[in-house]
Each structure stands twice: as structure tokens, then as C-alpha cells.
Amino acid sequence: MARRVSRRKMRRREDFPIKEQLKIEEGVFDNRTMMMLGKLLVRGAVSRMDFIIGKGKEADLYLAEHGSKVEEEQVVVKIFRLETSSFSNRMDYIVGDPRFNGIRSNVMQVVYAWCKKEYGNLKVAEEARVHAPRPYAFAGNVLAMEFIGKAGVPSPLLKHAVAANPERALRSILDDVRALYMNNLVHGDVSEYNVLMRGEVPYLIDFGQAVGRGHPKALDFLRRDVLNITSFFSKRYGVESDGELLFKEISAV
């Protein structure tokens, strides 16, 4: 009689290919994250992990090769850390968002909900034709999305780029902020650190904190977004604009 293997010892089908194909320059994934990466591979979002391209307080970014369901050759995989405590600093975005109802005391569930929320927010941005990474798939604490860059090199942050036409760049960002608001979404953290310059086209990134217009602080976040980005262009490029007036115009749509 063949000996039965307990379910606890059995490896999941999706664990095999990802463990064989992972080639990581930095970082160590726990078993739970490995399982989520395996799910993205099975779903055709990625085929091989390459190397880390960015580290943040809450997540790390990896470059990956595309899977069968993605046309672009390279994909960004954002992996939210399950052990992070920095989400406690995001309570202004969590409290009042129905997507977090009943899970604020469980760190893992908060991280999973945050990842799912960023995917959903990016889908809204895509449908609104906003310049932002296209989302491909998510599982647990792992999100696969469009790579904004070229030949494995990410596009520079607005903070570090030099815009040839700063007036046009600012107008593009404000148009995207307006388009998001018209589609019931406020980014909530627009700044020179959350905009990538793909050539002369600014792309908004980091949508995890974005909230709906019904959020109790939505207008506060919108006002801050507009004032932050207009202030940056004023200081860096001398582009003068009335941030308060622009906020009122956008919030009136």
C-alpha cells in the first residue's frame, strides 16, 4: 500500500516552477510570498523573476520577465512586506475606507487588503486613461504591473528628472488628477517622489493609499495633492499657478 503524504507536507503545484525559475540578486522570500509568486506565474503574469530595482518602507520592487498573458517583455513585481509595521502610519487612508472594514487588527490581512486595493485603484486609473502603470494581476501581498522604463532601467522620478517642458508636464499631472477624481478616486500622495518621467510624459505611481470621493478626508487629500505638485513646479521650474484655485476647479467636477 502506498504511504499517504499529509497535506501539511505536500507541496503545492504552483510552488515548483517558481522555485526553479527564481533568480534573485537580493532579498529572501518567505514561504507565503513564494506561494503568491507561484500564483502569478500560473496566471501568466510573470515567467521569471530577475532582480530588485527598488526598496520602499512597505514594499520592494522587482523586475520580472512577462508571462503568457502579458505582451510587454518586462513586468514590475511589487512585494509588500508581511512583517512591516509601517502600515500603522497609513491609518488616515485605512480608516474610512470600506475595503478595510473589520481587518485593521490583523497585519497580514491589512497588507493583503492594501495590495488588492492598489490593484483596484490602478484598474480605475487604467479605465480613466490616466498615465499610470497598467495592473496585470495580484495575489496576497504580490502585485504585477507595467514596467515604466526601458531595457531594465526604470524611468527617473520627477524629483530627479529634468522636464524639457515643465508647463506641459504639470498640466498632464493635473489632468490626470482631475480624471481620477471624475472617476471617484483621489490619489492622496501626489508629489515629485510618486511621479515617473517616461520621456516627457509623467506617470503617477504608488496607488495603494488612493481613496474614493466618499472617504472623509478625500477633499483634504485632493487639496494636498494639487498644492504639493504645483509647489514643486513653482520651486523647481518657476511655473506659477494658483494651487487653491486649481483645487477648487478640480473638486467641482
Burial code (b: 16+ CB inside 10 Å, e: under 16) for 115-146 equals: bbbbbbbbebbeebebbbbebbbbbbbbbbbb
Using one digit for the tens of pLDDT, what is the confidence trace for 71-83?
999 999 999 988 7
Which pLDDT value is given to residue 219? 98
Its pTM stands at: 0.86
Domains and their CATH numbers in the chain: 15-150 (3.30.200.20), 155-251 (1.10.510.10)
Which pLDDT value is given to residue 109? 84
Which pLDDT value is given to residue 87? 67
| Cα 238 to Cα 163: distance, rounded to the nearest angstrom | 12
List the chain residues with pLDDT less than 50.
Answer: 1-27
Residues with a catalytic annotation lie at: 189, 206
Using one digit for the tens of pLDDT, what is the confidence trace for 26-67?
445 788 999 999 999 999 999 999 999 998 888 999 999 999
Which pLDDT value is given to residue 137? 98
Residue 5 buriedness (CB in 10 A; 0-12 / 13-18 / 19+): exposed
Which pLDDT value is given to residue 105? 63
